Structure 1
Amino acid sequence: MAPTLVVVPMSFTASNALTFPPEGLSTRWYEKMVTDPQWSTGFLNSAKVAFLTAILATVLGTLAALGTVRGRFPGRGAVNGLILSPLIVPVIIIAIGMFSVFVRWKITGSIVGLVLAHTALAVPFVVVNVATSLRSMDRNLEQAAQSLGAGPVRTFRRITLPLILPGVLAGGLFAFITSWDEVVVSIFLTSARFRTLPVEMWEQVRQVVDPTVAAVSTTLLAVTTTLLLLAFVVRRQAPAR
């Protein structure tokens, strides 16, 4: 954790080089991050991809959680294992596999390809959170609604969804975070015309390192930490059985 936190004061250095402790204090590197088209475009691309990924992963992950928790079908365990496999399989292997497939589909270097790839990585986090909420909720409430004449759709909309909503929202936040700071898969699937912020950082570090990289790193860290804290707060709102 300490090496990560060292980046924060380095981002406020007045020097033209990365130094610790910083030589004077300045916010000019943050100003450069905002005004430089490369960084600002990368930031917008990351936000756009993460937002779309969060929406798609939340919908698919919620449906998958409902299917694996409530469904009764042969091979349910295998399906669940396949859905959660991105949590176990090394990301570099996933990236190579996705690249070979997406090249055939001609969607590399596009926002569509990146959103699909990030969604595959993010869905497991949604499934875990929603499945936990489903297992902890009181199913007697659903049965009571059905006994009063509510159909499956209305029962889900009026009873189930409100009860599992903290898990759904927490999963969506984790999905956003997963996409927001993802770099390995993004390196394989982005192009010079469309880069996310982590990929832009990677390219800049390979060429020249100035304190702007520290400012961007601090921004990424701040957004990720804030969303993680928010996800844990939301998750704690889940009703106990």
Structure 2
Amino acid sequence: MMGPVLRATLLKALVVLLAFGLLAPIIVVAIASFSGDGYLKFPPETFSTRWYARFLGDARWRSAIVNSVFIGLMTSALSTFLGFLTAYAMLRGNFRFKKVLASLLLTPVIVPHVITAVAVYFLSARLGVVGVRPWIAVAHTVVALPVVLVILQSALRTVDPALERAAMVCGCTRWGVFRRVVLPLAFPGIVSAALFSFLTSFDELVISIFLAGIRSETLPVRIWNSLLLEVEPTIAAVSTLLIAVTSVALGVDAVLRRVRG
């Protein structure tokens, strides 16, 4: 039988191997984005930032970035607002069918996005809102809300109800308790939920393909359309940007978790 030291060594080796397997494609894409060649190749023979310049100099790519950021910010604000009120009601409220409602709100995590996208598309076509950015943000909120709910329910569980009762005993109104006690204590969780809902919208492809149209092409949709026509190093530059945005958001969330701790 293996000793404890050998088992620990094998476990560490397995973890390192899995981490390398996850990071290797990201590293390959990041290196390929600095290729000076005229086509996608790894390893590149020369290095250059020409594909980043081409990416940022193309009006369609810039428009896709603006659309993704605008829709992502709207989705983040809407899903965080609704998710916070819902999570607070779920934890503090006492009403019938609470578990059923919670299951329904988490359904978008289970249902494949393509089914949600098809259903939302038919509704959007009838209403004539295909390509309308606020409506796309509403559709993204549907899939971002479960993520927000899970994060905020975890954050609000750390808020002691005794603090709220003590504030009310001291003469604070319900709105005052909500503003001066609940919100400050849950603030790191709120910011974390906002970041993850933004990333959910920023990386969403399937729903955006159905709803974006030509007017509101998002960055993932623009990448998809470019891959269908031609695979060029510009795609690697855009993918590296997406990885950088995700890494920054996760880094901010890690800092907030330390602050919360």
2:110 paired with 1:88? yes
Unmatched tracts of structure 1, length 5 or more: none
- After superposition, residues 69-84 of structure 1 pair within 5 angstroms as 69-84=91-106
- AA in 2 matched with 1:135: R
Question: What residue is the counterpart of 1:55 in the other structure?
Answer: 77
What is the CA deviation profile of residues 156-214 of structure 1, one whole-angstrom value per residue up to 9, with x for unaligned ones?
Answer: 10111101111111000001100111111100111122200110000000001110010
Q: Deviation at 1:229?
A: 2.1
- After superposition, residues 21-170 of structure 1 pair within 5 angstroms as 21-170=43-192
**DSSP-derived class of the 1:136 partner:** coil
Shift >4 Å, 4+ stretches: none
- AA in 1 matched with 2:71: V
- AA in 1 matched with 2:124: F
Question: What residue is the counterpart of 1:207 in the other structure?
Answer: 229
Deviates more, 1:179-188 or 1:225-234: 225-234
2:32 paired with 1:10? yes
Report the CA distance shift for 1:97/1:236 in structure 2 as closer, same or farther (over 3 A).
farther
What is the CA deviation profile of residues 59-111 of structure 1, one whole-angstrom value per residue up to 9, with x for unaligned ones?
Answer: 11111111111111111011111111112211111111111111122111110
Aligned residues: 239
| Normalised TM-score (structure 2) | 0.89
Question: What residue is the counterpart of 2:244 in the other structure?
Answer: 222
Alpha-carbon contact 2:208-2:218 (below 8 Å) kept: yes
Deviates more, 1:224-233 or 1:74-83: 224-233
Q: Deviation at 1:4?
A: 2.7
Q: Distance in 2 between matches of 1:234 and 1:121?
A: 24
Please report the RMSD computed on the Cα atoms of aligned residues, expressed in angstroms: 1.1
What is the CA deviation profile of residues 96-136 of structure 1, one whole-angstrom value per residue up to 9, with x for unaligned ones?
Answer: 11111111221111102211111111111211111111112
Q: Distance in 1 between matches of 2:125 and 2:260?
A: 42
Q: Distance in 1 between matches of 2:184 and 2:215?
A: 42
Question: What residue is the counterpart of 2:213 in the other structure?
Answer: 191
Q: Deviation at 1:218?
A: 0.3
**DSSP-derived class of the 1:107 partner:** coil
Q: Deviation at 1:53?
A: 0.9
